Amino acid sequence: MNAHILDYAAVGIGPANMSLAALAYPVEGLRGAHLERRESFSWHPGLLLPEATLQVSLLKDLVTLVDPTSPF
């Protein structure tokens, strides 16, 4: 049996886990898995009107405040 040991596992591709992915990306040797039950990502499916956009406060950006040099 070939076991893969991970440093972390993230369940669901929401804002917090997307931020985790962005912050983990430059860390050499860090192994993680991001798990999502849907085949593709959809932000708040069925909750927005066709003409609406979702506005997120800059304070909810969990990457920039931690690492202002992040390309994400």
First to last CA, the chain: 36
Q: What is the pLDDT of residues 4-51, one digit of tens each?
A: 899 999 998 888 888 999 999 999 999 999 999 988 877 677 777 777
Query: What is the model's pLDDT at position 7?
Result: 96
| Residue pointed to by tokens 């983990």 | 24
User: Bridge partners of 35?
Assistant: 11
Mean pLDDT computed over 46-58: 70
